[in-house]
Amino acid sequence: MRTAFLLPALLFTMVLHAQQTVVRYAYGPFGNIGDAAYVVEKGRIYQACGPFSTKGPCLFVYDDEAVYRSADAYGQRGSGLFRMEGDKLFRCSGSFCTRGACVLMLDKQKVFRADGAFCNKTDGGFVLDGNTIFLGEGPFCNKADAILHVQGDIPMIALLAILGTQ
């Protein structure tokens, strides 16, 4: 009797634990959804393969404050790529992710490109509109065509890492 009750509970827990976020390409001013680009799961960003968003090789590994390149296809942590401090994303280098120049700056729903050690705001980069990411044009980051669509929940550091490599 116990096993009949425990087995479905265990399977339900495994399904909840295995949820993943899929980032798909999007096209045009209305954000028509296209093929899968990335799969984000358990602190790793994978390349998406095939029509069913199968996990391919691991590209990046992230934690709460830094993003690292993957040393292999399975997600071993390699050298540093980005470091997030507040609402700013900086390039970093080395295994301890030593902070370098600024790349992106988050301003509410707009992501501006930035440069230098003090994160000087330059041109518009991206506009976050719900689950769809649009290109941002000009100094006021006006919404242009869609580039990505997120299906599921994604940590901001993972989303900014994907946008930082675009």
pLDDT digits (tens, 9 = 90+) for 117-165: 888 888 888 999 999 999 999 888 899 999 999 999 999 999 999 998 8
Q: Considering only CA atoms, which of 83, 81, 126 is closest in space to residue 106? A: 126
- As beta bridge partners, residue 102 has 90
pTM: 0.83
Q: Are 60 and 161 in contact (CB under 8 A)?
A: yes
